[in-house]
Amino acid sequence: MRKGIVRKVLILSVSFLALLLLLQPVHVNAQRTIKVGILDTYSGPPAVYGNDALNGFKLALNEINKKGVLGAKIEFTTRDDKFKVDIGLSMAKELVMMEKVDLLVGTINSAVSLAVSDYVKGEKIPFIVWISKSEKITGEKGHRYVFCTSENTYMAGKAGGVALSKKPYVKYWIAGDDYEYGHAIADAAWRNLKALKPKVELIGQSWWKVGEPDLIPYITAITSAKPDAVIFATGGASMTNALKAIKSTGMSERIPIWIHTATDHAVLKPLGKEAPEGVMGTMDYHFYHPDTPANRAFVKAFQDAYGNPPGFPAFHAYVTAHLIAKSFIKAGAIDREKFIKAMEGMKVDSPVGEVEMRACDHQAVLPMFLGVTKKVPQYDFIISTDIVTVPGKEIMPTCEEIKKVRGKS
Amino acid sequence: MTFGGAELICQLLVGISRSMILFIVCAGLSFVLGVLRVPNIAHGSLYMIGAFATFSITKMFAGSTGFWIALILAPLLVALVSLIAERALFQHLYQREHLMLLLFTFAISLILGDLVKIVWGAEYKSVSAPALLKGSISLLGASFPRYNLFLILIGPLVAIALWLFTIKTKIGKISRAAAVDREMVGVLGINVSWVFAIAFVIGCYLAGVGGALVAPTVSITLGMDHTLIIEAFLIVIIGGLGNMWGALVGSLIFGITHSFGVLFWPQFAIVFPYIAVVIVLLLRPKGLLKSVW
């Protein structure tokens, strides 16, 4: 008797499931969606940048998917790389093998980007780097399948080096985060400065571990050495720590300082009026500059959607999404090789003007904004002022230089 | 490169001031280790919660008073969180082996880390020092942040308070006794469960104090717990497990080798505290001072 009931229930549920399957809507002849795999850091201190980029990407997709791309939509799947190379690499493989994505984008960590870049080279899958700043990505380690839509250490370093070469300082100290980005930015700035002004002299260096909480011992030690100027090569949470230490020791009043991304809003906002003034910084994007209709429209749309103004990762991700969409439209098919062909030399309008994806090295041509931190009455945080815009073409390596460094490796 | 005496003294004081925060956190960790035998990895998370709570409380009040109120309330909030954790979870696990406790507290630290992300978000937070302690003073010609001077004063106060607590108060005495022989304390008719709860909460309260004190000197971010907990365990080990004065000595070794390393050999400063740890452990594997284990 009991057996019979179980059997009945089983048969009923199986037929119910079968019915459900039959009732499933069937997409006839619909173009398949384009799947983008996003690999970035969504935990720990860098999460603030990862989330910002994701929001910028989502905002752009909302615009893009209204019209569609090749009669379909662009979708995405995310994975957290936890800022670690091994995790990043396995997540990239998961996105490619399990999620079957058409292309990969992401990563804030240069080391992760380089590892993933090496992987996609073998798998022939396009990978667009949107936050990492190592110049190796599209320089020495560049190849057909990797693109970069963020500014890199070469560009930032050159912008800083050129600016510093016009100043009277001779004795320099370099200090920064002891990882790929820190060393790359410091090298680039110093190389350019030394080339433009051979008499500059490096009197010392300090390197602290990433995430070092207390930088005051470093700042007091550097101040004791009495350099004419200091180049800091730091970013993210360490940057906030550095600026706090610089302010509390009064260093910025005694010694001129240049830091790439010191004028980043994500860094300056939490400090409020407590950020040091007079620090020279270069930056790739400000929501308050340039004050153009395009930038204002982007900032407003972003602010309405997410409640805060876009940071630089959102800007790069926004540009990346539009580059992807426009390139697929030009390619005319969801085909990786055709997509790459279309990406090369592709131009899109962006909040800071037209951005070109340079064909010879797959590096986006982006301007740099050189400014000085200052208190202004209209904001309750410090902003970058006296901004000088350096066009991307002036600070990028030439295609010949790229050929040379790539030939070497 | 040559340095004058002023720079050396300044660097020494900077090292000591950093040691004081480490000491306060490590004293709590060591206390819990000594009395409860729990290697609490979540101690770092409580320190992080202390810092984040300081941020929120400072925000609530205008002006400099906010920070002072936060300095009192934030550690109490941390103590409350730890009391809940102790009564709900920890008290059932004291009998387990150390590896289990290590895994358990590690899990708690991950959960607390995610809770912090949910409550406060992923953005960097910053607390400014109260007006009284802002900026720097000139010390023999070198500039020294006022806030660090304040830290140098507060460290010994906490040490003395903790020492008096363990020596003079009844609960302190019972805690010390429980650290040596908990069965015996139980046999004497003392409610060991509540002694443990109080000891645990006091240890965690100190993590909260450390978090509140560190808030104005750093950017408050997710992940600050992990950076700290590794250093804290090393300090507790070189000082002698469960020994409060050991935590003080360990913190000073850690902070001072670090700040002098930065001054003399900046490229490799990171390794100096760890070299000191290795040397101590080679010479005295049980720690510098007497371990209660």
Q: Is the pLDDT of residue A273 over 90?
A: no
Domain that holds residue B109: 23-222
pLDDT, tens digit (0-9, with 9 covering 90-100), for B187-220 = 888 888 888 899 999 999 999 999 999 999 888 8
CB contact under 8 A, B142 and A241: no
Q: Is residue B252 part of a domain?
A: no
Reported as a pLDDT band with limits 50, 70 and 90, residue A27 is very low
Q: Quick one: tokens of A390?
A: 């350096």
CB contact under 8 A, A175 and B266: yes
Q: Is the pLDDT of residue A225 over 70?
A: yes
pLDDT, tens digit (0-9, with 9 covering 90-100), for A156-211 = 999 999 889 989 999 999 999 988 888 989 999 999 999 999 999 999 999 988 87
- Range from A304-318, B198-212, B226-240 carrying the lowest mean pLDDT: B226-240
Q: Is the pLDDT of residue A17 over 70?
A: no
Q: Is residue B103 part of a domain?
A: yes
Place of tokens 């350019």: A192
- Range from A36-40, A54-58, A371-375, B207-211 carrying the lowest mean pLDDT: A371-375
Q: Is the pLDDT of residue A46 over 90?
A: no
d(CA A57, CA B186): 61
Q: Is the pLDDT of residue B293 over 60?
A: no
Phi and psi of A293, rounded to 5°? -55, -40
Q: How far is B234 from chain A (nearest CA, A)?
A: 16
Give me the pLDDT at residue A173, please.
95
**Fold classification of A154-283+368-394 (topology level):** Rossmann fold (3.40.50)
Place of tokens 């439209």: A329
CB contact under 8 A, B134 and A225: no
Place of tokens 């890199």: A152
**Which residue did the predictor score with more confidence, A355 or B289?**
A355
From A178, A241, A272, residue closest to B218, measured CB to CB: A241
Q: Quick one: tokens of A22?
A: 């039959």
CB contact under 8 A, B219 and A249: no
CB of A244 within 8 Å of a chain B CB? The answer is yes
CATH architecture of A34-151+291-366: 3-Layer(aba) Sandwich (3.40)
Q: How far is B39 from chain A (nearest CA, A)?
A: 23
The residue type found at B241 is: L
Instruction: Give the C-alpha distances (Å, rounded to integers) separating A406 from A93, A138, A150, A253, A286.
Output: 25, 9, 20, 43, 32
Residue A203's nearest CA partner among A186, A221, A226 is A226
CB of B267 within 8 Å of a chain A CB? The answer is yes
| pTM more than 0.80 | no
Reported as a pLDDT band with limits 50, 70 and 90, residue A25 is very low
CB of B125 within 8 Å of a chain A CB? The answer is yes
d(CA A79, CA A151): 23
CA B189 to chain centre: 32
User: What angle in degrees, to the nearest 10, is found between the helix axes of A312-331 and A336-343?
Assistant: 120
Neighbouring-strand partners of residue A357: A364
Instruction: Give the C-alpha distances (Å, rounded to integers) separating A243 from A164, A259, B163.
Output: 19, 10, 37
CB contact under 8 A, A208 and B15: no
Q: Is the pLDDT of residue B142 over 70?
A: yes
CB contact under 8 A, B217 and A267: no
- Range from B26-35, B138-147, B165-174 carrying the lowest mean pLDDT: B138-147
DSSP classification of residue A79: E
Reported as a pLDDT band with limits 50, 70 and 90, residue A14 is low
d(CA A51, CA A54): 5
Instruction: Provide the domain count of chain B.
Output: 1
The residue type found at A257 is: I
Residues A361-388, mean pLDDT to the nearest whole number: 92
CB contact under 8 A, B217 and A214: yes
Provide the residue ranges of all domains of chain A, joining segments of one domain with +.
34-151+291-366, 154-283+368-394
Phi and psi of B49, rounded to 5°? -60, -40
Residue B29's nearest CA partner among B21, B20, B38, B18 is B38
CB of B40 within 8 Å of a chain A CB? The answer is no
CB contact under 8 A, B124 and A221: no
CB of A45 within 8 Å of a chain B CB? The answer is yes
Neighbouring-strand partners of residue A356: A347, A365
CB of B228 within 8 Å of a chain A CB? The answer is yes
**Which residue did the predictor score with more confidence, B6 or B105?**
B105
Contacts of A197 (CB under 8 A, 6+ apart): A164, A165
User: What angle in degrees, to the nearest 10, is found between the helix axes of A293-306 and A47-67?
Assistant: 110
Give me the pLDDT at residue B62, please.
73
Query: Are the beta carbons of A81 and A39 closer than 8 angstroms?
Result: yes
Q: Is residue B123 part of a domain?
A: yes
Q: Do domains A34-151+291-366 and A154-283+368-394 have the same CATH topology?
A: yes
User: Is residue B13 helix, strand or coil?
Assistant: helix
Q: Quick one: tokens of A60?
A: 């752009």
Asked if ipTM goes beyond 0.85, one says no
The residue type found at B20 is: M
